């Protein structure tokens, strides 16, 4: 995951044994594990005030602070290196100069500034965007991918149907591509049902009310923190029949086509949903299709799939996968 995001942002890759990558992965993994949503409501001003003095009395909040400092420090270094080594690419009129996200962002900002237009696209805002993309993209996508593996392991019939579709559409002689996605109704339904059933980020992104608002008889003053209860949306019987049953077929219509549901909102709701949604969905499709093409997922010998727990562990800001073991059994090409 880290190299995919790093490539999108800067068109660079880490070696898998790079200590910097390991530290960044640890930072991205730590923050979601220890953030407790209640902090934002019980003591927001208190925590932010003390944070200015580098003093956080609670161990968990201090861990979050250190994780953000690590991610912020990484952003500072990479963007500074980019500015020093690639200033010649910041030309908005040369499309070939847009090698990656940082180039596009900075060249667009440079173009607005040269025209005298006001813009919030500054180097500092880019540093924040980079840090947030790593925080949101590294751990959250990996968590959902692990859930997908667990559910394929648990529900062998689902795995069988999904693999049959992969074999029919892609086969085993070439790798899956994004052009295959629109033809693969069952795989798409499986991924969407996993998002609904699990809701790995049950609160979504926090929002701040920008002006005094009245909604459904309630007055919400400007500056109020607002949290979306995505888990409740996904498990409301008014939205989904038998919401606690894992059933990808609920998103397959009578003609066998995939139905995208507006009520499955794992990346949040409103205008400011997770900016990494498109990248994450593409990653998940390619990973799942490739796993199904290459491996048969089986539990350890002597363990029945029916005995495998899919009860998530709520810890901090996410619902994480329970411990499990899986055997990846290589599949052979039918033609060989």
| SS percent in the chain: helix, strand, coil, step 5 | 55, 10, 40
Q: Name which of 132, 107, 133, 130 is nearest 119 in CA terms.
A: 107
Beta carbons within 8 Å of 184's beta carbon, 6+ residues apart: 165, 166, 169, 258, 285, 289
Are 321 and 146 spatial neighbours (Cβ–Cβ below 8 Å)?
yes
Q: What is the DSSP string of 267-311?
A: T-SSSS--TTHHHHHHHHHHHHHHHHHHEEEEPPTT--GGG----
Both tokens of 21, joined, read 């990558």
58 labelled binding-site residue: no
- Contact (CB, 8 A) for 18 and 74: no
Contacts of 147 (CB under 8 A, 6+ apart): 194, 198, 200, 321
Helix (H, G, I), strand (E, B) or coil at 27: helix
Q: Residue 180, Cα to own-chain centre: how many angstroms?
A: 21
CB atoms within 10 A of CB 32: 22
Sequence-ordered list of residues with C-beta below 8 angstroms from that of 67, at least 6 positions apart, any chain: 27, 28, 30, 31, 135
Instruction: Kindly give the pairing relationship between strand 295-298 and strand 318-320.
Output: unpaired
Annotated binding site for heme: 274
- Which residues are annotated binding-site positions? 274
């Amino acid at each position: 995951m880290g190299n995919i995001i790093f490539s999108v942002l800067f068109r660079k890759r880490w070696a898998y044994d790079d200590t910097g990558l390991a530290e960044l992965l640890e930072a991205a993994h730590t923050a979601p594990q220890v953030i407790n949503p209640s902090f934002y409501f019980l003591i927001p001003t208190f925590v932010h005030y003390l944070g200015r003095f580098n003093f956080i009395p609670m161990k968990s909040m201090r861990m979050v602070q250190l994780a953000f400092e690590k991610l912020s420090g990484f952003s500072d270094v990479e963007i500074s290196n980019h500015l020093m080594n690639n200033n010649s690419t910041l030309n908005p009129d040369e499309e070939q100069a847009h090698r990656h996200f940082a180039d596009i962002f900075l060249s667009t900002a440079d173009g607005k500034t040269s025209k005298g237009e006001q813009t919030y696209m500054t180097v500092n805002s880019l540093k924040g965007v980079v840090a947030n993309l790593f925080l949101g993209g590294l751990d959250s996508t990996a968590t959902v991918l692990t859930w997908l593996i667990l559910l394929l392991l648990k529900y062998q019939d689902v795995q069988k149907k999904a693999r049959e579709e992969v074999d029919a559409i892609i086969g085993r002689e070439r790798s899956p591509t994004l052009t295959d996605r629109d033809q693969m109704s069952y795989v798409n339904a499986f991924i969407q049902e996993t998002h609904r059933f699990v809701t790995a980020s049950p609160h979504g992104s926090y929002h701040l009310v920008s002006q005094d608002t009245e909604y459904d008889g309630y007055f919400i003053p400007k500056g109020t923190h607002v949290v979306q209860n995505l888990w409740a949306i996904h498990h409301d019987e008014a939205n989904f029949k038998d919401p606690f049953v894992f059933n990808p077929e609920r998103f397959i219509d009578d003609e066998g086509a995939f139905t995208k549901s507006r009520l499955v909102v794992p990346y949040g709701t409103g205008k400011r949903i997770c900016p990494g949604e498109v990248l994450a969905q593409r990653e998940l499709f390619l990973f799942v299709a490739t796993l199904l093409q290459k491996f048969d997922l089986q539990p350890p010998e002597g363990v029945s799939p029916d005995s495998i727990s899919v009860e998530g562990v709520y810890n901090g800001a996410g619902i994480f996968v329970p411990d499990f073991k899986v055997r990846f059994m290589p599949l052979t090409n039918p033609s060989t």
